[in-house]
Each structure stands twice: as C-alpha cells, then as structure tokens.
Amino acid sequence: MTKKTMLIIGVLTAFALFVGGAMPVMADTLSALNIDPSLLPALAFAGIGDIDDISKKIDGIENSLKEFSDKAKADIENSGKISTENAAALDKLGEKQTEIANRLLAIEQKGGASDPTPKAQSWGQQFTNSAPYKSFVEGNTSRAKFEVQNNTNVGSDATVPPDRRPGIVPGAFQMLTLEAFLNSIPTSSNAIEYTREATFVNNAAEVAEAAVKPESDITFALVNMPVSTVAHWTKISKQLAADNAALAAYINNRMVYGVNRRVETQLAVGNGTAPNLSGLFKVGNFTAHGYADAALGTTFKKLVLIRKIIADLWVAGYPADAILLNPADWAQIEIELMTTTGMQARINVDQQGVTRLFGLPVIQAIGVAADSFMVGAFRLAATIHDRQGVMVELSEHDADNFTKNLITIRAERRLALTVEVPAALRGGDLTPV
C-alpha cells in the first residue's frame, strides 16, 4: 500500500469516527488538520471519486494527523473534553482503518472507483460472463451453450494495450424495429396450427318487423406453419476466446445481431417455402390496396395513397398502428416533404425518437422491396411464435478445430410467424399504374 493511500485512510477513518459520534469537536478537528470543510464530501465518498485528486488535496497533512491523534488521546485521559463514547470510537480506529484500507487499496489498484449501479450487459457480455463460457475456456468442457436474453446492445469494453486504440471499432449495428410492432408468444412445438379469418362480409342492417334478416359471410382457413431456423457460424482461435474477452464478446454480439437482422428480413418478405418464414408481404398474408394511379391525384401521390389506406383500415375496423417502408422510399418521401413549402410539418419525431407520418410510426426495414409498402394494425394481424431465442454455442469438436486450436461459434434462433388477420394489413405498390 502506498504512502498516499495510508494517509487518505487515516483522514477518512478520523472523519468517519467523528461523523459517528463526535460532531461537537468537528470544527476544531478540521482546524487542527487544516482541512477545507468543502473537501469532506470528496473524502467521505472516496469510493466513487478520483483517488489521485483526493491525495493531492491532502498532501502535507501527515504530521498534523499524528499530532491530532496524540492530542485526542490526551484529551480523553486528562481533560475529559471528548466523551467516553467517543473514546470508545477512537479505540475502534484500527478496525475502521483496516476496513477502509481494503476498500481504498482496491480502488487504487483498479485506477479508480467502480460504479455500484448495475449495467445492462450486451449480448456478447452475457455470453462471456456466463458460467458455460468460463468453463469452456478453462478447458473443463468441450462445448458451451447459452441462450441470449433480449437486451439493449451496449457494446463491449476492451483492455487498452500499448500503442493501440483502446476498445474495438464497432461495425454497423442497424436498429431493428419491425419485431417490436408484432405480438410475440413462446411455443414449445415445431409447428403452429392456427385459424385464419379468410373473409368477412358484414351485411348487418336494419330489419323491418317480420322481414328476413340479412346474412353475413365469415369464412376461415386452417393453416399449419412450421417453425423455421435462422442460423450462422464462424471460427475464432481458442487463445482469442481465453485471452481477449472484449473481442470475444464483440464477435458474439455480431453473431446475435446477424441472426436478428436476417429474422427481420424474413418477417417482412419470407416466401413461406421451407425453411423460410411466411413473411408479411407473402401473397395471402396481406390485402392488396387496390388503388390505381388515377385515384391519387397529381401531387404527393405516395402520401395520398398511404393516407387513403389508413382511412380504409379505420373504416374496416382495423386502426393502423404503423407504416412499413423500404428506407430508400421513406427517404424520398421525407425529401419531398422537406423541400416543399408548408409540408415540413407533416413529418414529426416523438419524444422516443420515433419518426412518424400522419401520426403513425414509420418502420424502415431493409427487407422490404423498393417501391413496396404496407400499412396495418400489425399487433392485431400477426404473431411471432418463439421456439428458441438466439442460442450461441461454442465447440472445438468441428472439422480440424482440435488440431488448430480453433473454436466454432454458432448462433441460431427458431421461430414462426403467423398472420391471423390479413385484412388488417394492406399494401402493395407504392407507385401503382
């Protein structure tokens, strides 16, 4: 333990004892030690402060501290100015000093204080901090398996090596939002059987007494949807997995992100042919909007089309909760509005940073084909059935991994998408003929 640390320990211990039972002599104590009272918060909470800064502020008071200790003991024995209770507190100086010493030494060794507030862990951090991963890199097992919890991607830290940029330069992590607008429920099956409303013709009407009541038409279809698997793998060296946890965490982040990015594309445009998901744009999963170019006027045709469909859904009893667009198409709409006088107000961003059009969130999904769109009551219309969240597995028993000290990392997710109410999703060509 350094001399500075011991000095800080002495001051903090004296301070802690007097806070506990010697407040009447606090002012005299500070005066005797030449300590600025404003420094006390920094000393009292040294566990969250900068130890170097604190030590600089209290340099030169070591001798004063010794004088104070001797004087305090003399006061207890002779003058009685300090109470018996305070004398007992001083007798515990060694015990308190040891406790604070251990805390300060840990702070100094770490180069600063640790934040007691729990931090959200990234996908990769969850994996490298897990017991299966630690057991794997220690050689206790040849496989490791871990299911990633859904969480905000907060990135990874890295140890800073000499002459090297600290951390890892992040790759592209696009915000994935489509899944957030769909209901999600777990399943333990490998297939989902559900009833889909095929047609609903509402002929409800007023009826005169003794007259024949009108008949409405509701038809259903029984649909069986298999659970699909989205997966990929890569290889890293076993030394990397053991020696550079930050990079290993980053790689795992990438693997999880890669799976979920592909899932978002499948949710939008999966063609339903195994092993693909049956996406929202698959024929039969949505209702074509039915508008021709002539019905859209002469200006802002795309906006007119979107607004008409929002109205149509409302009339049909399916209030829209989002608009799904290709990013390039949304950019074109925004540019058109921003460059037209008086139209800028048609675009707004809410407090959560969500871009809205006609009051509805805009979902930008790269899987959506250019010049295609969809407006819908997404949470009503479709459901994600999660058979298995993103599972990350490591194994050295793959091909020649053992002889080359390589590890295969595999990430996969199993799910199905069912569309129960196609009438609640309307879309098609954004520029109809």
Neighbour-count burial of 12, counting CB atoms closer than 10 A to its CB (0-12 exposed, 13-18 middle, 19+ buried): buried
According to CATH, the topology of domain 118-433 is Major capsid protein gp5 fold (3.30.2400)
Q: Checking DSSP bridges between strand 191-201 and strand 322-325, what pairing results, if any?
A: unpaired
Task: Give the CA angle between residues 395, 399, 402 to the nearest 5°.
Answer: 60
**What's residue 247's pLDDT?**
74
- Provide the residue-wise pLDDT of the chain in tens; the chain has 433 residues: 454 445 444 554 544 444 444 444 444 444 444 444 444 444 444 444 444 554 544 454 445 555 556 666 666 666 666 556 555 555 555 555 555 555 555 555 554 444 555 555 666 667 667 777 777 777 777 676 766 665 433 334 444 445 555 555 566 666 778 999 999 999 999 999 998 888 888 999 999 999 999 999 999 899 999 999 999 999 989 888 887 777 777 887 889 999 999 999 999 999 999 999 999 999 999 999 999 999 999 989 999 999 999 999 999 999 999 999 999 999 999 888 888 877 776 666 665 677 888 989 999 998 899 999 999 999 999 999 999 999 999 898 899 999 999 999 999 999 999 999 999 999 999 999 8
Q: Checking DSSP bridges between strand 382-395 and strand 183-186, what pairing results, if any?
A: parallel
Q: Where are the domains of the chain?
A: 3-110, 118-433
**What's residue 253's pLDDT?**
85
**What's residue 229's pLDDT?**
97
Integer CA distances (angstroms), 234 to 32, 123, 269, in order: 66, 16, 26
